[in-house]
Every structure is written in C-alpha cells, then in structure tokens.
Amino acid sequence: MEKHNIRQIAALTERLGRLLGTDAHATGLLPVHWETLRYLDRANRFSRNSTALTAFLGSTKGTVSQTIKALEGKGLVSNKADAKDRRRNRISLTAKGKRLLKDDPIRELEDAAAALPASIRTSLAYGLQQLLSKRLDAQGRHPFGQCRECVYFAPEHESGDPHFCTLLRETLAEADAEAICYEQVARP
C-alpha cells in the first residue's frame, strides 16, 4: 500500500503540473513565462536578476535569457543594468505584466485549493513544502524562502528602518520582509 501512495503522490503532482502547463499555453504564454512573472512578483529586489531567476527555475542561462527577451518583447518585464553594479541586471514587472498576473491561470488551482477543508489545505501545504525541500536538497539548489524567516533578517533595526538584512547590509521595507529571497537561509 505504501508504494502505491508514493507513486500516486508523484503521478498526481505530475498531472497537476501538466494541467497548469495546458492552462498557461491557452493564454498564449509558455509555462516558463508564467513562472517567471510569478517569481518576479514574489521576489525581493535583491533577487530580481537573471542569476537568481536561473536558480529558481532550475534552468540554463540561455533559456532564462530567451525567456526574459520574450517577456520584454511582449512588454511584460523590463531588464536594466543595476545602477550600483553595471555587471548585474535588474528585471522587473511592467504595469502590463502586473495587470496580466491578475488573470494568471494558476488562480483556478488556488480556487480549487480554497474549496478544500482547512485541515487538508494545511496538511497539503506542509507536505508539498517538505517534498519540494527534499528535491531541492537532493539537487543542491536554493530554497528561496521568505525573507522574514531568514537567519540574516533583523526586525526593527536600530537605524530606524523597519528591518535589516545582516548579510547584504541593506535596509528592508515590510514588502521585502514578505518576499522570497535568493540568499535566504532558514532559521533553525
């Protein structure tokens, strides 16, 4: 019975992914385009660059470069050199990209999840997070956790700013604290 459950988890996860991909294609965008837009919407300002996006997607630099170019061509993102470090780029959603996310096909899956009893949602969220963590660990990849749950996060910093990142030595607004970060290291 246990082997059946394990296979069923893998098969159901795969099928949900395929359904999301089909929904994404129906909008005229590729699944990777939607995933990029979602990432940019959730990532903090330090993580909106091609290096972090490549790590998040688990893709190649070339694929990410083509994805960014395609989204730029559609007017959904802008990609500019970083003002502090010209060797780095900063990718951001345009107003058009933000508007498009309001019609994100993943909303249908969110609605289906919302219809589940709270206890199932909680167990499912926890289980999927654990499953993802195991896969990321096995591949040596970044978890991209929430800033406020990081060992480097300092709430109510002495500078008077709301928060501070002790790793990057940067002040953090409340929106940054809620975002996901490439540099995040979860607190034990």
| Cα 175 to Cα 32: distance, rounded to the nearest angstrom | 25
Q: Find out if CATH 1.10.10.10 is the number for domain 2-142.
A: yes
Q: Is 143 a residue whose pLDDT tops 90?
A: no
- Mean pLDDT, rounded, for 9-24: 90
Q: What is the pTM of this model?
A: 0.86
Closest by CA to 61, choosing from 29, 69, 18, is 69
| Cα 108 to Cα 130: distance, rounded to the nearest angstrom | 23
pLDDT single digits (tens) 79-120: 998 777 777 889 999 999 999 999 999 999 999 999 999 999
> Are residues 16 and 56 in contact, defined by beta-carbon separation less than 8 angstroms?
no
Q: Where are the alpha helices (DSSP H) in 58-151?
A: 61-73, 95-101, 106-114, 118-139
- Of 141 and 101, the one with more pLDDT: 101
Bridge partners for 78 per DSSP: 92
For residue 1, the model assigns a pLDDT of: 54
Domain boundaries, the chain: 2-142, 145-188
- Mean pLDDT, rounded, for 146-157: 86
